[in-house]
Chain A
Amino acid sequence: MSEKAQTEHGQLVGVEKLRSSCDPASLGFATTAELEPLDGLIGQDRAMEAIRLAAGMRASDFNLFVQGPPGMGRHDSVTTYLREHAATLAEPDDWAYVNNFDAPHKPCALRLPPGVARKLALEMQDVVDDLAIDIAALFESDDYQAASRVINEEFGEQQEHTMAAFAEKAKSEDVAMMRTPMGIMLTAIKDGEVVKTDRFDALPEDERKTIEEKINRLQVELSEILRNAPKLDRERRRRIEALNAGMVGEVVSSRLREARDAFADIEVVQAYLATVEEDMIGNAEMFLAVTQQQPDGPFPESVHKAHSNPAFQRYMVNVMVTREGDAPRGAPLETEDLPTLDRLAGRIEHVSQMGALMTDFTMIKPGALHRANGGYLILDARRLLSEPMAWPTLKQCLQSESIPITSLGERLSLISTTSLEPDPIPMNVRVVLIGDRMLYAMLITLDPDFGELFKLQADFEESIARSDDTQALFARVIGTRAARNGLRPVSAGGVARLMDEAVRRAEDASKLSLHLGALADLLREADHYAGEGARDIVIAEDVEHAVQQADRRASRIKDRMREMVRRKTLLIDTSGEAVGQVNGLSVIGLGGYLFGRPARITARTRMGSGKLIDIEREVELGGPLHSKGVLILSGYLSSTYALDVPFSLQASLVFEQSYGGVDGDSASAAELFALISSLSGVPIHQGFGVTGSVNQNGQIQAIGGVNEKIEGFFETCLDQGLTGDQGVMIPAANVDHLMLRQDVVEAVRDGQFRVIAISTIDEGLGVLTGRDPGARGPDGGFPPDTVNGLAEARLRGFAEQRLKFSQSAKPTGQGG
């Protein structure tokens, strides 16, 4: 079989189309050090427009989902843009929680101007510290002592006067007051002695009645006096409290007036301080009690920090979010790498007291939503979705535009202890989720809330059209990354080699891959080799070395498979001819590493009822796409050959020595070639590897992984010896995707290997068999000696054979 014969049907792909290398000379610079830095991304206009829109709109439901594969620079670009944009926005207000003096389990949220929350917190600490000293001094002052003593003595003497008068009266009426364990016993006396029963009985009736009457009367009077004592004491306490309120009120009001003046224009602080004043006056004794508990330490009373005493926590300010002095101006931009429920929406901590878990408003801790309030929050979608209750909580916050704080245990009713119901803080946060396309598809499909809350998507392109302009931009991106990562400048040759790698990763000679993360990894490795070589710049050889080393590190399985083919453990022929047998090409992917390998496909045919058996599908090793491809073959055969007779073929197809799953339809053309070969009995040249899918009209369609497939078959041929007759047949539509390794290109240039593009099955049959495939003539039939003619004749033979068989098996109808 001559080269001419093999190629007159397909199109021999020229060397120049096998690898569209970038010419370093066309870049116009020596090293990237000469280039202007280029921050941001190239080729992501669509995504950046979405990001800009999300940043600018303040509607709560225009949140953004940034989708695309990792390594596209999604995080960097979103963060960079939002940081710049946030700096132009107004600073959001501070938020703080303070005690609710009426309902301590429902802390109040205070909205304060930027930077005020911390000042207010410090002011309240000072207020408590000052009052702890001032109020204690007040209670110890002579003024207070004298005033309180006057009240105590007034009431004490009032009671004593009453008792003294009663005692006098009782004495004057000859009644003694005797103390007993049960109380005071009033008893009649006569002539200085107690009137005992026998003496009483001897008295005249009227005198006895008089004694009984006065005893009863005095008993009632004494009872009234003693009953009145608690009332008097209550009145005394009220007077003391009024005294305390009056004197303490002056001290508290005086100190809080200073605080009010410090926050004169802030109405909410004025209102809060009014409630504080009322509570402080009502609980003035707390200051005294705490001061008296202070141990005598080495420091004078004036430096005691009373605000750290738990009793005064009620007057503290729990700053949830504030703008510190050295914080960047503008709106906040927050990220949360571990978006648990607590870290997202805040939490309420507890402390153990006497075995019970206790909490108060000072133990409310902010979450990422609090910190990002008024600005932007960037979250990794996968991490968010993998944290229990985090996603429902985020949705709830976005829907209600507020941040309620509820612990996981509380939501799941796992714990029963004292808890709080803080005022929800109003929320205005633009949430940006970054995830892959699968996550986006699942969320938009399965979660009806997602579409409502995340109305914007930024879909990152994976490649960019290749042109002089984009190559120039690409070079600047490489230079910028090198500089930012502290790497050596890259020579023009190095940039060109990186660009070649970008083209290969794009699987399209007319495009550049935008997987900048992977290219940056390659650049860093190349920089390492440049360092080992004591070079000041990264050159093409460094990049090439990095590519080879990365390939070598990942190629253990590929090498083992090559070895198995070499040793005939896996049967692949790269020379000779065989009927019903063709070399299909498949791609195996492991992580980010892809490699191609040939697989023997065989077909067997015989008379039947039109059934095409896909053995892979029968044993459930074939995927749905593969099955679809095989069924298309059946459609092609039945609509191409022997149209006037029943389709009377039974055929079987198999990937030989394939023990794993097979999917995709890229081998359907190869399977069809094997079937037609088997039908026609025309052998196929085994020096070819074939890839491409086919439709029912016999047109060859593009497939993926074309470079790896060609290289995989090339390596097999190389191992078995290059003959010059070998090559790979690919769909013509894939020619633009070629970016082959340099060694393959060299082999083609040297005439040792070929790449042939085909557009139809007939072209492929011509290449593989070296014979005319045959086209239908004016009589409607294929020429007899052509591949198609032989195949049709065989099928017609099957139909006739089947007809004869059915006639011979038909019953005569003569039964008796």
Chain B
Amino acid sequence: MAAPGPGHKRILVGAGSFADARAALAILDLLSGVGITDIGGLFLEDREVMEAATPRTSALVSPRGAIGTAPSRQVLRLMWRSDARAFRDRLIQLAARRALRWSFERAPGEPVAGLCNVAHSWDWLLIGHLPSGAHAGRVVGVFHGAAAGGDGVGELTEGLARSLGTGAELIADTLPEADILARLERVHAAAVVIDAGAGPFRTAAQIRALLAAARCPILVLGAAGIPSLVEYSTQIPQPPPGQAG
């Protein structure tokens, strides 16, 4: 796919389930020629789900529509562990195939917030979300300014759409945020591309709203512009000087 100019891109993929992670990794696999050197995986275990999972106040519906009761804490732990392992394996496979450096970490927290907290040490974020439907929807890009292309969102959007064999739609961030979200609510999207450094979606809350509206993986460029709330760790190292997004 055609993409913005080469560089040393570090991408962090985050998800709260293997199904979401797999959708994100599928998008990542299509990103070539953009100078990716490192990929990171962050599996986030939303403890609030554990708190909310009670029989009387919650209910479960599987992706195929099967009705179930809210999972117990033990089941949730087992599922998180299993999904995290699968996520890690798939990430390692992709890194090996593309000869990339990789890292992986499990952490507690809500996925979007968790990712945004560590986003400043990565160039791009890729937030996993299993899209609906068996066929690929269009790729939507929210570009900054009056014309697409200047920030790389346009080219990435077009390139991804070509790779997926689907259409692309570019939305200018000059529209009100609510209109953009309303539009995304109704678009069958395969992925959404935004630039956190230049567009309207910069904070974790905004990105969470975007994810809830789009219901598909979101590629966030300019991740360094997202406010950080956590310390660096051995698994998620501080970025080298001068390589921010």
Contact = CB atoms under 8 A, between A and B. Distances in A.
B105 interface: no
Contact of A197 (B57, B64, B166, B213): B57
A184 B60 contact: yes
A196 B187 contact: no
B137 A156 contact: yes
Nearest to B136: A152
Interface string A152-181: 110111011101100100000000111111
Contacts of A232: 133
A204 interface: no
Interface string B47-65: 0110111101111111111
Interface stretch (B79-87, B92-100, B114-122, B144-152): B79-87
B17 A181 contact: yes
Interface stretch (B26-34, B68-76, B219-227, B230-238): B68-76
Contacts of A188: 57-58
B51 A194 contact: yes
A236 interface: yes
A411 interface: no
Contact of B67 (A156, A180, A219): A219
B170 interface: no
A160 B185 contact: yes
A230 B58 contact: no
Contacts of B132: 156, 159-160, 163, 229
A160 B182 CA distance: 11
Nearest to A145: B167
A160 B186 contact: yes
A194 to B, nearest CB: 4
Given A155-B133, A229-B132, A182 B57 contact: no
Contact of B83 (A149, A155, A177, A181): A181
A176 B52 CA distance: 10
B57 A215 contact: yes
A215 B59 contact: yes
Nearest to A225: B65
A211 B63 contact: no
Interface string B162-196: 00001100000000000000000111100000000
B65 A229 contact: yes
Contacts of B111: 179
Contacts of B18: 181
B186 A226 contact: no
A587 B66 CA distance: 103
B117 to A, nearest CB: 18
Contact of B16 (A179, A216, A236): A179
A233 B135 contact: yes
A183 B63 contact: yes
B46 interface: yes
Interface string B35-53: 0000000000010110111
A585 B57 CA distance: 127
Nearest to A200: B57
Interface string A224-242: 1111111011001000000
Contacts of B188: 152-153, 155-157, 159-160
Contacts of A230: 64, 134
Contact of A183 (B60, B75, B133): B60
A229 B16 CA distance: 23
A528 B186 CA distance: 102
B63 A157 contact: no
Given A149-B167, A153-B138, A160-B187, A184 B61 contact: yes
A185 B53 contact: yes
A56 B66 CA distance: 80
A235 to B, nearest CB: 12
A179 B20 contact: yes
B215 interface: yes
A220 interface: yes
A197 B50 CA distance: 11
B62 A182 contact: yes
A223 B67 CA distance: 6
A187 interface: yes
Contacts of B51: 194, 196
A46 to B, nearest CB: 81
B229 interface: no
Q: How large is the interface on B (under 10, 10 to 19, 20 to 34, 35 or more residues)?
A: 35 or more
Contacts of A133: none
Contacts of A225: 65
Contacts of B82: 181
Nearest to B64: A226
Contacts of B48: 178, 194
B193 to A, nearest CB: 18
B113 interface: no
A224 B61 CA distance: 10
B57 A195 contact: yes
A52 interface: no
Contacts of B212: 167, 177
A164 B48 CA distance: 23
Given A160-B215, A194-B48, A182 B71 contact: yes
B187 A187 contact: no
A186 interface: yes
Nearest to B110: A178
Given A160-B187, A224-B65, A226-B64, A178 B46 contact: yes
A227 B64 contact: yes
Nearest to A194: B52
Nearest to B129: A179
Contact of B61 (A164, A223, A233, A236): A223
B19 A181 contact: yes
A208 interface: yes
B18 to A, nearest CB: 7
Given A156-B135, A180-B71, A180-B79, A211 B167 contact: no
Contacts of A224: 65
A222 interface: yes
Nearest to A197: B54
A212 interface: yes
Contacts of A223: 61, 65-67
Nearest to B67: A223
Contacts of A211: 56-57
Given A181-B19, A187-B57, A226 B135 contact: no
B173 to A, nearest CB: 21
A659 B186 CA distance: 113
Contacts of B80: 181
Given A178-B52, A233-B134, A227 B65 contact: yes
Interface string A276-319: 00000000000000000000000000000000000000000000
A182 to B, nearest CB: 6
Nearest to A226: B65
B15 to A, nearest CB: 9
Nearest to B18: A181
B142 to A, nearest CB: 17
Nearest to B51: A196
Given A159-B133, A222-B61, A233-B133, A164 B186 contact: yes
Given A181-B82, A185-B49, A197-B57, A161 B186 contact: yes
Contacts of B133: 155-156, 159, 229, 232-233
Interface pairs A-B: 6 shortest CB-CB: A156-B188, A227-B65, A226-B65, A187-B58, A219-B59, A164-B185
Interface of B: 16-20, 46, 48-49, 51-54, 56-68, 70-71, 75-76, 79-80, 82-83, 111, 129, 132-135, 137-138, 166-167, 185-188, 212-213, 215
Interface of A: 149, 152-153, 155-157, 159-161, 163-164, 167, 176-188, 194-197, 200, 208, 211-212, 215-216, 218-220, 222-230, 232-233, 236
Given A156-B135, A182-B79, A186-B59, 4 more contacts: A179-B16, A182-B75, A215-B58, A215-B59
19 contacts: A149-B167, A153-B167, A155-B133, A167-B185, A180-B49, A181-B79, A181-B82, A182-B68, A183-B62, A186-B59, A186-B61, A187-B53, A194-B52, A195-B57, A196-B51, A200-B54, A208-B56, A226-B61, A227-B64
